[in-house]
Amino acid sequence: MRTLISNGHLIDPLSGRNGKFDIIIEDGKISEIGQNLEITNGDIIDAQGKYVVPGLVDAHCHLRDPGFEYKEDIESGTRSAAVGGFTSIACMPNTNPVIDNQTVVKYILNKAKQDGAVNVYPIGAITKGQKGEELSEIGELKFAGVVAISDDGKPVKSSSLMKKAMQYASMFDTMIISHSEDLELSDEGVMNEGYMSTVLGLKGIPSAAESIAIAREIILAEYTNSPVHIAHVSTEMSVELIRLAKKRGVRVTAETCPHYFALTDEACEGFNTNAKVNPPLRSRKDVDAVIEGLKDGTIDIIATDHAPHHIDEKNVEFNIASSGIVGFETALPLAITKLVKTGVLTLEQLVLKMSVNPSRMLGLNKGSLEVGKSADITIFDADEEYIVDTDKFESKSKNSPFNGFKLSGRVYYTIVDGQVVVREKVLFK
């Protein structure tokens, strides 16, 4: 079976191709890239007026499976990812049971193979049960298939344990992804500490709670000469610290999420629980710094932190509402609307941050369109406008503060290992 993608505008940062190129896919792999290609029989995709890019890679999501299937499961989560243009996603270990042993890793990989619409790469826990007490079996997790380790959602409180985790994990070339938060400073806050928390009378989380923890990770990474990846960067000081660390040659990479460049804490107005997320939505100054960090390369990756929650967990008092935003189906349009259309990033830079860099950080053989590589391809229209309707999400959960937003950018095709999962905006899986 051969597939031809013709007439599209190909953007492949690694090869430097940025223009009219056709692609032929054969047996799940890219077999030819060139101009005016033709096939005699097979599937022809007309990508006229659209961009053809390496399949998007999400370095940070929550599939809730096993344990919280009422929020999301591997099937619904990967369908949601496919509609959003993601072909590979890395899922966090705060499941039940936690991904801290090879049995859970194998369960996820098997279920993804069976029910998944896109490639799924589990992230293991740094500590057993994400309790922050003892290291999990990092070597065994690595051999079972995890692409990184993280206690996401819960920071590793002990600096000493984090130091040991970095030293131990680098022995297995395993990246540590840090959810950086000083819980004592957060002190049960529920939104960003600032004018808006004062107006709403809600307990604030100071931006320092994040930045202090990031400073620690950077210092430990330099001290142990280990790599570290900083998850969901949201504050001005955090961006500045990472910038400084990179200048010093610390092996640090960083991600942010669409909600940290698209929204401020004003979205919490009216006790809007769909805007409750951790780290919290920040001030305008922080948002501007995150955007600047994306522009100057301090922030390498845009991840979704797709965090589904059931309506019953959001339709409650703000204090007890679950934190999190579903992100797969709005990430690319938000990035195009808020970063590309505004001139912050070129589309090529966006592909770097949503495909090439996350793939490299996780050590995946993805993020490029070369002959011989598996055909993971996303095709989108960058100009088509639409209104976000959360009821139409493929995800089981609808907890998004972007409902009703008018955005530019629509995914037309998502191709995973040569298989067309999304065709003309419609999911076929």
Partner 1 sequence: MFRGDVMVFKSKDLLGLKELSAEDIMNIIDTAKTMKYVIKSNNKKTAHLQGKSIVTLFYENSTRTRLSFELASKYMSSSSANISASSSSVAKGETLIDTGKTIDMMGTDVIIIRHPMSGAPHLLAKNVKASVINAGDGMNEHPTQALLDMFTIVERKGSLKGLKVAIVGDIYHSRVARSNIWGMSKLGAEISVAGPATLIPPGLENTGIKVFNTVQEALIDADVVMGLRIQLERQKKGLFPTIREYSRFFGIDEKRLKLAKEDALLMHPGPVNRGVELSTSVVDCDQSFINEQVTNGVAVRMALLYLLTRRGPNEDIN
Active site residues: 305
Is 193 one of the binding residues for partner 1 (CB under 8 A)?
yes
- Name residues contacting partner 1, limited to 84-103 (CB under 8 A): none
What's the order of all strands across the beta sheet hosting 43-46? 29-34, 22-26, 2-6, 43-46
Residue 201 is a binding residue for partner 1 (CB under 8 A) = yes
Does 374 interact with partner 1 (rule: CB under 8 A)? Answer: no
Q: Is residue 70 near partner 1 by the rule CB under 8 A?
A: no
317 binding partner 1? (CB under 8 A): yes
Verify binding: residue 197, partner 1, rule CB under 8 A: yes
The residue among 266 and 384 lying less far from partner 1, judged by its C-beta, is 266
Binding to partner 1, residues 244-283 (CB under 8 A): 270-271
- Sorted by sequence, the CB contacts under 8 Å of residue 411 that are 6+ apart come out as 83, 84, 85, 332, 378, 379, 380, 422, 425
User: In the 8-state DSSP scheme, what is residue 148?
Assistant: E
- CA separation (Å) from 233 to 39, 300, 317, 321, 339? 46, 11, 26, 22, 16
If one asks whether residue 318 binds partner 1 (CB under 8 A), the answer comes out as yes
User: Minimum distance from CB of 284 to partner 1 (Å)?
Assistant: 12
Q: Is 204 in the site for partner 1 (CB under 8 A)?
A: yes
Count residues binding partner 1 (CB under 8 A): 21
Q: Which stretch binds partner 1 (CB under 8 A): 81-89, 109-117, 224-232, 317-325?
A: 317-325
CB of 207 to partner 1, least distance (A): 11
Using the rule CB under 8 A, give the single segment among 14-22, 26-34, 155-163, 314-322 that binds partner 1. 314-322
State the nearest-atom distance from the C-beta of 319 to partner 1, in Å: 4
Our CB check for partner 1 shows the closer of 107 and 271 to be 271
DSSP string, 383-409: EEEEE--GGG-SSS----TTTT-EEEE
Q: Give burial (CB, 10 Å; 0-12/13-18/19+) of 62.
A: buried
Answer yes or no whether residue 202 interacts with partner 1 by CB under 8 A: yes
Question: 245 burial class (0-12, 13-18, 19+ CB within 10 angstroms)?
Answer: buried
Cα–Cα distance for residue pair 143/273, rounded to 1 Å: 39
Is the Cβ of residue 29 or residue 310 nearer to partner 1 in the bound state?
Answer: 310
Q: What CA–CA distance (Å, rounded) separates 75 from 162? A: 33
CB of 281 to partner 1, least distance (A): 15
Nearer to partner 1, 287 or 416 (CB): 287
Handedness of CA 126, 127, 130, 132 (dihedral sign): negative
Q: Is the dihedral of CA 304, 307, 312, 316 positive or negative?
A: negative
- Give contact residues for partner 1 (rule: CB under 8 A): 193-204, 270-271, 312, 315-320
